[in-house]
Structure 1
Amino acid sequence: MPGRQRPQLSHGTAAISLPATLRTIPRDQHNLSRKDMSPNALRVLYRLRDAGFQGYLVGGAVRDLLVGGHPKDFDVATDATPEQVKQLFRNCRLIGRRFRLAHVVFGREIIEVATFRANVDDGSGDREMDNGRLVRDNVYGSIEDDAVRRDFTANALYYAIEDFSIRDYTGGFEDVIARTLKLIGDPEQRYREDPVRMLRAVRLAAKLDFEIEAATAEPIARLADLLADAAPARLFEEILKLFLSGHAVASFEGLERFGLLQALLPETATALAANRSGALRRMLLEGLRGTDQRVANDEPVSPSFLFALLLWPAYCRALMALQNQGVHVEEAQRRAADRVTLHQLDTVALPRRFSLPMQEIWLMQSRFGNRQRKRVLRLLGHPRFRAAFDFLVLRLTASSEHADDVAFWREAQLQSADELAGHLASAPAAGEEGSEEEGSDGAPRRRRRRRRRGAGAGTE
């Protein structure tokens, strides 16, 4: 809405100025329909209403339905306290200390029910700030308060079950229609309250194909280093949302555009900048396109493969550095894998159940050049073979140097054990191991030494 002012949020107990007067969008002026909503979410809304409480479908579900999406999660906001919600639903459990929430469980579906939050500290100790960051928020208020304290205007829309209208306190309805992502309140202050909001801005813009409003976008690059203060476990979860939700390419490009890649994946960002051919970036983007395609096809996606892809440029750079120091090839590979993993753990809590398979995918790449029968059969039987082979195929995007290896292993998977043994018996022996040099894809490439002939070789 032209001339609409940003609502101002407080750092502590100071008063706030509320946004424009409530705008109610009646049913005939929006496209939301109960047939597109979770029946369980509607069940929660009706029971809250029947018990005398306010209850609204809120946030991402309303936003996504407005733009023709198909939300998977349906959240509810209410004036009932978590304890009151629990009394209404036997299938309810209360979670969280930082933000107290009620989860109403219907089999595999969970409807998250949040009590309206206030914007001021009531002195109870249930609202806590730490260096500008909101670390605890369990002070309850009105729906108007709740709307203002949400992050983006697009997420501050409330669907009312009693008349099927949308309640808008921040101008979010027009922002969604204009496909604009806009923070509520002062952007810098909101990012300082929770630095992960910068990643959420990039992720939502990528998911929804929204533009981030100029004032919302401006502080991001300046404040990117604040992500170092975010909990590594939260950043791990945010990476999964960024890259395993079907919009990985747009998310990666958004991280680059707004200066967040260096803060989130610092060694990868450095390695990509140093790779002048751009081969590593081409490979990374192609891998992310494949991930998006798998999500679109409802096929499984692996966090281990994702991190193997995201950190591969960092691994290649660390490996090359170690080899240039004279470290033996196999030792350099192990040390590079460990070094990159440990350094990334300073930022993102990457669980071992994902980091160990990630490292196996890397370390198996050098084994694809070996044609010795026992090693070929052993590699084919490795539980991580398929992921490592898919990774090798992906490397063709960066360089055609791997075409022979890809062709050999693709054929090997189609042959019986006897056929493969016969093929290997007639194949020429592989050359001896040699030194390493950088390939055209930015990754280390083995340079084979020629076999030296014996003293009497070639004489009659």
Structure 2
Amino acid sequence: EVATFRSGQVQTAKSGVIVRDNCYGNLEDDVVRRDFNINALYYDIHKHEVIDYVGGLKDLEAREIHIIGEAKLRFSEDPVRMIRAVRFGEKLGAELSDEVKNCILDQAPLLSNISPARLYEECIKLFHNEYSFEVYEQLEKYGLLKHLFKQTHKNDFIKKALLNTAARIKQNKPVTPAFLFAVFLWQAQNERFVMIKKKQRSFYLAMTQASEEVIINQIKQVSLPKWLTARIKDIWIMQSKLEKMHPKKVDDLLQNPRFRMAYDFLLLRSQSINPELEDVAKFWTKAQQ
């Protein structure tokens, strides 16, 4: 990625959020447009030295995260900086300054001013890493999580899934956002399904309606591409098929392109919120051998 230096000229909406700040400036101008001291370090390719105007190197050494300027103003300009602060803190093993902590607790609702499309990209950065569970806990601690996933409440299933994602990344194994989103929204989908099933006799129609409603509610906060929502629904609908263990359908399910994700989903459920599915998980583990 190549970026030019930005000047101090910005345009903001009534909410205070910056809507335009791409006016060309110089290095000195650009420094004050950065969010945190640790993100305002520059490298001179001719002198082979780091240029540090704001004490970023000192903060890195001390493992501290300080914001450039007044935290309240900087977070109102771009509320995404709050979740970036949390992510950087866990990535670097750094402590947020008291000013940053207090302002996040106070200004977390400002995340609602950010477009769902942008928050989708930020969520990928938040959870597709080796410290995803720690990030999740910090988002919850600072009141940020509910402004990203209001239908999600922490449980052992989510913890297992996040730790599993971190382990896969450490092992250079592939991960997909569809899996984590399916985990985050599973409880809400289940609760909605139970309510709908009281009036809708068809299991499939009730499952489909519950899935649609939960996803529609989610994309009001964090946008989800259509390909991703399709995979989420596949994972959910396959759970009941896997649980039934019909001998005649084993081969067809094993050949399903979504089988592996659905199986991993079932396996983590059996290891956390649904221990009664342990034998089912063993059945499908053996079926793959």
Pair in the same fold by TM > 0.5? yes
1:202 touches 1:254 (CA, 8 Å); kept in 2? yes
For 1:311, what is the secondary structure of its paired residue? helix
Query: In the alignment, is residue 115 of structure 1 matched against residue 4 of structure 2?
Result: yes
The CA deviation at 1:171 is 1.6
The CA deviation at 1:220 is 1.4
For 2:152, what is the secondary structure of its paired residue? helix
* Correspondent of 1:404 among 258, 279, 282: 279
Aligned residue in 2 for 1:150: 34
Query: In the alignment, is residue 283 of structure 1 matched against residue 157 of structure 2?
Result: yes
Aligned residue in 2 for 1:344: 218
* Correspondent of 2:151 among 267, 272, 292: 267
CA distance in 1 between counterparts of 2:123 and 2:235 reads 20
Aligned residue in 1 for 2:200: 327
1:221 touches 1:259 (CA, 8 Å); kept in 2? yes
The CA deviation at 1:347 is 1.0
Larger helix proportion of the pair: 2
Q: Which range moved further: 182-191 or 154-163?
A: 154-163
Count of residues in Structure 1 that have an aligned counterpart in Structure 2: 286
Q: 1:243 to 1:142 in 2, by over 3 A?
A: same
One-letter amino acid of the counterpart of residue 200, structure 1: R
Larger RCO of the pair (alpha carbons < 8 Å, separation 6+): 2
Query: In the alignment, is residue 214 of structure 1 matched against residue 98 of structure 2?
Result: yes
2:245 touches 2:280 (CA, 8 Å); kept in 1? no
One-letter amino acid of the counterpart of residue 402, structure 1: L
Aligned residue in 2 for 1:56: none
Aligned residue in 2 for 1:191: 75
RMSD (Å), alpha carbons: 1.6
* Correspondent of 1:378 among 252, 255, 258: 252
TM-score by length of 1: 0.60
Aligned residue in 1 for 2:43: 159
CA distance in 2 between counterparts of 1:196 and 1:226 reads 9
The CA deviation at 1:182 is 1.1
CA distance in 2 between counterparts of 1:153 and 1:317 reads 44
Instruction: Describe how 1:11-30 pairs up with structure 2 within 5 A.
Output: none
Aligned residue in 2 for 1:10: none
Deviations 1:107-150 (A, max 9, x none): xxxxx33222222x3xxxxx421121111113333322211110
Aligned residue in 2 for 1:436: none
The CA deviation at 1:301 is 0.6
Aligned residue in 2 for 1:48: none
Q: Which range moved further: 198-207 or 313-322?
A: 313-322
1:153 touches 1:175 (CA, 8 Å); kept in 2? yes
4+ long deviations beyond 6 Å: none
Aligned residue in 2 for 1:366: 240
Deviations 1:166-197 (A, max 9, x none): 22211211111111111111111111111111
CA distance in 1 between counterparts of 2:242 and 2:64 reads 48
One-letter amino acid of the counterpart of residue 170, structure 1: V
Aligned residue in 2 for 1:55: none
Larger strand proportion of the pair: 1
Deviations 1:323-347 (A, max 9, x none): 4x44333332211111111111111
CA distance in 2 between counterparts of 1:370 and 1:191 reads 50
TM-score by length of 2: 0.93
1:148 touches 1:169 (CA, 8 Å); kept in 2? no
5+ residue gaps, structure 1, are: 1-111, 122-126, 273-280, 415-460
CA distance in 2 between counterparts of 1:313 and 1:202 reads 25
One-letter amino acid of the counterpart of residue 306, structure 1: L
One-letter amino acid of the counterpart of residue 114, structure 1: A
Q: Which has the larger radius of gyration?
A: 1
Aligned residue in 2 for 1:305: 179
CA distance in 2 between counterparts of 1:248 and 1:221 reads 20
2:271 touches 2:278 (CA, 8 Å); kept in 1? no
One-letter amino acid of the counterpart of residue 200, structure 2: V
1:370 touches 1:376 (CA, 8 Å); kept in 2? no
The CA deviation at 1:206 is 1.5
One-letter amino acid of the counterpart of residue 215, structure 2: T
Q: Which range moved further: 188-197 or 310-319?
A: 310-319
